[in-house]
Chains A and B, each alone.
Chain A
Amino acid sequence: MNSIHPNLHLTPLATAIPAWQGEVKAGDLQMICHKVAEGGGRLVALWARDLRESGFMLHVLLLNGKGLLCLNLPLSRDLLHYPDISRIFPAANRMQRAVFDLLGIRAHPAEDQRSWLRHAAWSADSFPLRKDFDEAASRSPLLNPLPPRAPLSNSLPQAGERTNEKGNLESLVEGANVCSPAESGTQTHDDYPFVRVEGQGVHEIAVGPVHAGIIEPGHFRFSVVGEKVLRLEERLGYTHKGVEKRFESLSLQQGAKLAGRVSGDSTVAYAWAYAMAAENIANVAPPDRALWLRALFLERERIANHLGDLGYLGNDVAFSFGFAQFWILKEQVLRNNATLFGHRYLMDAIIPGGVTAGLDEAGKQTLLAECAMLEREVRLLRSLYEEHAGVQDRFIGTGRVTPKLAAKLGLCGLAGRASSQCWDLRAQFASAPYGMLDVKMATHQNGDVAARVSVRFDELFESIRLQREIMANLIGGEDLAHPMTELPANGFGIGMVEGWRGEVMVAIHTDGKGGLDRVHPHDPSWQNWPVLEHAIMGNIVPDFPLINKSFNLSYSGHDL
């Protein structure tokens, strides 16, 4: 690792995964990123934090075959620029824009300077993650305190009425603390410059953020000719709820709860990553039994989500039979979770220092029976999907992401593995207890919907096997956690876990008193949302929901 660049001096980070960090100068950042990219490395996350007098610190987390590399770039208060790395790692584009929206430090000279997470909920010159951020004062004047039907001219404060208007605003703030941009009523407030495709017969289809079904909000702008999609542009950020800001005012334990709620379908992965980061800072090792249970929870989360997705994929091609069968199985898994561990989705089962729920002998028997049932049923359903001509006709060749494109764009996780991007933390950087389990990575080269379905099936069977093996290794005892109360001051820890969607990362920085100074949760969806825009190109409009579902990316985990 130390040979990457002469100016880069690395110190190992105490994490469960091999990791190093080092300070870099602005002038070297692009060079180092370039080197890592050439060596087959990729960008995991990019975030920054406000250090007050000493300026800002930008963190760029990279991953290559040897482990994690965290580059720290200090920025002084008078020069809030850093070199743009989105030409090296295209996935950095949206992360850089989000960093600007939240902290006001800009990548330079980046082509794309549009706001990303900021819609109209706060004004363009205030930055929520700065320590001097004043929520009430920064509330965008565009947020309309009048009834939403009022015409635009009435809602803008007149010069003479400013104080009055402000009073109105504050009373609104008291009543409802969270006001999403969608609630501001008029879309004209927030004109996002979408890229236009010109040409004869080209027209746009705008979908969302309100959809015909009950799903998370996102806006998709299709440029189409007839049914053929020429271009798709996503607009996300509708579920921005200020998670990162909220962390700053929470204790370690409260933070664990919030981390588990960043993206509900990955609650185990987030809670584990958060706990791992905290344990690394405090240098606490959870009991062995807790680690085995965490792995069990993580595999159960994977099983539940894969079952749900496989059902949905059937539903999206109107094969409702498959949908119903998979959801019966998923429901069984969730019910077992509720009876054995106290929560259907295993929320708050993992805490810093250990776990909150154990597993007794009777519970083991229930899970073993569930494993046998799942294996039998899923095998049957897989052959049903694979032998159904209508279903295969829709799956094969749809939404193809070639391995070359996937590598270039940094596609990761499950979708990446379906396009020959062989990254799986459980197999490559097997931290305890995965080191003893010998996880088989499921990959595919085709990169189409069928490949993503196939990888899901393979991972499902592997998770069932792992679940059995974990239970065989699970030693008895009452030792579930080494409770942690406080973190050391000025610490920095990274936790990274292979969630069902891809690798989930949580970085924790503590302040001078050991409180949470900055917590950055990172969802693999950041990397994969931009790839979806490429996956749909050249396909037809009615295939988009299917392609979208085959990725099944998180809105909440991305919008934070």
Chain B
Amino acid sequence: MRNPEQIFAILFQLTQLLLVVLAAPLLTGWVNQCQAWLQNRSGAGVLQPYRVLHKLFHKDALIADNASWLFRITPYIVFGCMWLAAAIIPIIAVDLPFSRAADVIALVGVFALARMFIALAAMDIGTSFGSMGARREMLVSFLAEPALLMVLFTSSLISHSTQLTHIVETFAHYKFILYPSLAFASVAFVMILLAENARIPVDNPSTHLELTMIHEAMILEYSARHLALIEWAASLKLFAYISIGIALFLPHGIIGVGNWAGLPLAVGLLLGKLMLAGAGLALLEAMMAKMRIFRAPEFLGTAFLLAVLGLLIHFLLGA
């Protein structure tokens, strides 16, 4: 038998794996519920995404006659990528076994892999909406990715590591310091989060207008379990992004592996932060209208600029 610390680490990792995959739809439900409240509606309740998933998993899948293997495997790849991404981010505890597998650059790569497959699958069936959505998605993402990397580099410069675990340890476990560079990075990160998760003002996750869609246009042909996996993956992605945000900018409360005593507090804090972030997201979305698609480059250009400013400020002030 190996030393107990490693067993604890694996247990912690398993807990996190299960927690993210089960709790991700809850976060989506919470955001939707907050939006409903902000609009004077009663809303469908925080459990609605689970009901939708349940419904979708019990339907028969319809697949276009001309769909290739690419179209069929994409939901599994996308779901796998998002689950992996959510698993390697320190959500409750740092130094998890999986977190060694990928640093922040690889994390961006995992997101890119999922995006590539979903765009290819959208074009695979050959509908005009699929390719329209795919090309819009690429327009948004090729601008969002470098901006995201810049944000992550800013944190890496402070902590001298691209490992998320080290970044979180630096921010959470040393003495409390305000980093001006991170202020810029955090604003940029929120803008990237909106764009990458198909939220208002870049995309509208609840629209039924096929001509305006970005993300939804790519998945129009999916049904039943495939659609369920993609929806679930979208929830996981939002969860992962908010978790990255928490890890980078609000990491206080994330514990070290094996600290069982600190676990309840860590989970409670995480819950509070997620609820706050979800409500904030809903508020942001409620106040904004969707931009014309050609404003998206300006929007993401601003995000990139802010991220670079953060980086420069780090060099200027050394903080």
| CB–CB A207/B290 < 8 A | no
A20 to B287, CA, bound (A): 55
Which single member of B35, B128, B212, B216 contacts A542 (CB below 8 Å)?
B212
Pairwise interchain contact B210-A211, C-beta atoms closer than 8 A:
yes
- Tell me the bound Cα distance from A320 to B41 in angstroms: 11
| Given A388-B289, A543-B292, A545-B211, A320 contacting B206 (CB threshold 8 A) | yes
Q: Encode contact with A along B165-191: 1 for CB under 8 Å, 0 otherwise.
A: 000000000000000000000000000
**Contacting B288 at CB < 8 Å: which of A212, A324, A390?**
A390
Residues of B within 8 A of A203 (CB): 128
Q: How many residues on the B side are at the interface (Cβ–Cβ under 8 A)?
A: 31
Instruction: Give complex CA distance A240, B292 in Å.
Output: 35
Please report A residues at the B interface, Cβ cutoff 8 Å. Answer: 203-207, 211-214, 227, 314, 316-321, 323-325, 328, 388, 390-391, 393-394, 540-545
Q: Which one of A317, A319, A325 lies within 8 Å of B40 (CB-CB)? A: A325
Known: A207-B211, A542-B293. 18 other contacts (CB 8 A): A203-B128, A205-B132, A205-B211, A207-B210, A211-B208, A213-B208, A314-B289, A318-B201, A318-B207, A318-B288, A319-B288, A320-B35, A325-B40, A391-B289, A393-B289, A394-B292, A541-B132, A545-B209
Interface residues of B in 82-101 (CB under 8 A from A): none
Task: Assess whether B267 is interfacial by the CB under 8 Å rule.
Answer: no
Say which residue of B39, B220, B289, B290 sits within 8 Å of A325 (CB atoms). B39
Q: Does B142 contact A (CB under 8 A)?
A: no
**Given that A204-B128, A212-B208 are known contacts, is A324 also in contact with B41, CB under 8 Å in the complex?**
yes
A residues in contact with B220, CB < 8 Å: 212
Q: Which 5 A-B pairs have the closest CB atoms?
A: A213-B208, A390-B289, A318-B290, A324-B39, A318-B204
A544–B293 Cα distance when bound, in Å, is 13
B293 touches A227 (CB 8 A): yes
How far apart are the CA atoms of A388 and B286 in the complex, in Å?
Answer: 12
A394 close to B290 (CB less than 8 A)? yes
B129, B211, B287: which has the most chain A beta carbons within 10 Å?
A: B211
How near does chain A come to B217, taking the closest CB pair, in angstroms?
9
Residues of B within 8 Å of A540, CB to CB, are 292-294
Question: Would you give the shortest CB distance from A308 to chain B, in whole angstroms?
Answer: 16
Which B residues between 29 and 81 are near A, CB-CB below 8 angstroms? 35, 38-41
Q: Does B312 contact A (CB under 8 A)?
A: no
Distance in angstroms between the alpha carbons of A544 and B286 in the assembled complex: 23
| Contact call A390/B40, Cβ cutoff below 8 A | no
CB-CB nearest in chain A for B41: A324
Q: How far, in whole Å, are A328 and B39 apart by their CA atoms in the complex?
A: 10
CB atoms of B210 and A324 under 8 A apart: no
Question: Which residues in B have their C-beta under 8 angstroms from that of A207?
Answer: 128, 210-211
A205-B128, A390-B201 as given contacts; A319 in contact with B210, CB under 8 Å: no
Chain A positions within 8 Å of B129 at CB level: 205
Indicate if the CB atoms of A393 and B291 lie closer than 8 Å: yes
- Contact: B39 with A321, CB < 8 Å? yes
Question: How far, in whole Å, are A227 and B39 apart by their CA atoms in the complex?
Answer: 32
Complex Cα spacing A472 to B42, Å: 37
**What B residues does A388 contact at CB under 8 A?**
289
Interface positions, chain B 272-317, Cβ under 8 Å from A, are: 286-295
Instruction: State A542–B233 Cα separation when bound (angstroms).
Output: 25
25 A-B interface contacts by CB (under 8 A): A204-B128, A207-B210, A211-B208, A211-B210, A212-B208, A212-B210, A213-B208, A318-B288, A319-B288, A319-B290, A321-B286, A321-B287, A323-B39, A324-B41, A390-B201, A390-B288, A390-B291, A393-B292, A540-B292, A540-B293, A541-B211, A543-B292, A544-B211, A545-B209, A545-B211
Report chain B residues within 8 Å CB of A227: 293-294
The answer for the CA separation of A319 and B39 in the assembled complex, in Å, is 10
Is residue B200 within 8 Å, beta carbon to beta carbon, of the partner chain?
yes
Q: Which residues in B have their C-beta under 8 angstroms from that of A544? A: 211
Q: Restricting to B15-39, which residues have a CB under 8 Å from any CB of A?
A: 35, 38-39
Which residues of A have CB within 8 Å of B35? Answer: 320
